[in-house]
């Protein structure tokens, strides 16, 4: 995630701390990459065919990308203090999630399942974190806001 976030967050950092106007937004409210279906598809494939390394890794990557989009959508609506807090929360979450995924995979240390279990655990945690970020955005934006993922 860190590699993806650097160019996007550098662009985002140039935004003012006031709620964005239509012209100043980094992302349109209704823009989301088509990642939800891809991640769900990888998850189904993983469940159906335990042992496919690409499935777990792709699921982890797509969940990470979804989380980044949710993070940026929320970030652009926060003031400077809220952005600082969100950044620290995300850094803390990232360290914790990677550690939890590493520990989950350790049960299969040295085996072919180690990386799959780690990736799968991280993907589940990322999905939950993404939902948390989306819920916070909805609370911030008010009842009229419609999450483009859940239309």
Question: In Å, what is the CA distance from 43 to each residue of 35, 50, 58?
Answer: 12, 10, 9
Distance CA 106, CA 121 (A): 12
What is the pTM assigned to this prediction? 0.69
pLDDT band at 13 (very low <50, low <70, confident <90, very high): very low
Residue 81: Cβ within 10 Å count: 9
Q: Taking the alpha carbons of 65, 71, 73, 76 in that order, is the dihedral positive or negative?
A: negative
pLDDT band at 6 (very low <50, low <70, confident <90, very high): very low
Q: Where do the domains of the chain lie, and which CATH numbers do they carry?
A: 33-141 (1.20.1270)
What is the model's pLDDT at position 10? 42
Q: What angle do CA 35, 38, 8 make, to 5 degrees?
A: 25
Choice between 121 and 39, residue whose per-residue pLDDT is larger: 121
Question: In Å, what is the CA distance from 126 to each residue of 1, 22, 39, 57, 68?
Answer: 11, 28, 11, 13, 10
56 pLDDT exceeds 80? no
What is the model's pLDDT at position 145? 85
51 pLDDT exceeds 60? no
Highest mean pLDDT among 17-21, 39-43, 67-71: 67-71
Choice between 7 and 36, residue whose per-residue pLDDT is larger: 36
Distance CA 95, CA 100 (A): 9
What is the model's pLDDT at position 57? 65
């Amino acid at each position: 995630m860190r590699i993806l976030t650097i160019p996007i967050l550098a662009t985002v950092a140039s935004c003012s701390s006031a709620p964005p106007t239509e012209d100043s937004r980094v992302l349109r409210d209704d823009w989301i990459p088509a990642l939800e279906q891809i991640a769900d598809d990888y998850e189904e494939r993983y469940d159906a065919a335990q042992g496919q390394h690409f499935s777990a890794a792709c699921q982890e990557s797509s969940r990470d990308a979804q989380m980044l989009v949710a993070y940026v959508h929320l970030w652009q609506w926060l003031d400077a203090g809220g952005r600082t807090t969100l950044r620290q929360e995300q850094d803390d979450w990232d360290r914790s999630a990677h550690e939890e995924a590493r520990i989950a995979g350790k049960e299969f240390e040295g085996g072919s399942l180690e990386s799959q279990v780690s990736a799968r655990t991280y993907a589940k945690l990322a999905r939950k974190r993404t939902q948390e970020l989306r819920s916070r955005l909805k609370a911030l934006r008010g009842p009229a806001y419609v999450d483009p993922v859940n239309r």
